Amino acid sequence: MLWRVSPTTQVGFARLITDKATFAYLIDVFILPEYRGRGLSAWLMEVMHAHPELQTIRSWLLTTSTAHGLYEKWGYEVHPNPQKVMRKFNNQAYTKDK
């Protein structure tokens, strides 16, 4: 999903990784600073959650450090078992010398 103010100017986007059956991972919700506070993040959330192909999704996951209030409006809550959430991170993934 993305928001453009003209055919050549993109000011925001949201990326969703999903199997279109039971699980979706919402990642990279971003609005350019000069366009924040206009409800664009909420619009992206509305469009995404209303998409017909996503109506069977049972479990949605995201991580955020700054926008808990926005996501709580859409039914998201702090994970009940954060100690069970794991990740693998490769900080060398984008370096030339691997």
Residue 66 token pair: 């700054």
pLDDT tier at 1, thresholds 50, 70, 90: low
CA distance 42 to 48: 10
Q: Is the pLDDT of residue 83 over 80?
A: yes
Q: What is the mean pLDDT of residues 73-82?
A: 91
Q: How far is CA 42 from CA 38, 72, 84, 92, in A?
A: 9, 11, 29, 34
Hey, what are 46's tokens? 């509305």
Residue pair 40/75 in contact by the 8 Å Cβ criterion: no
CA 45/CA 84 separation, integer angstroms: 26
CATH number of 2-84: 3.40.630.30
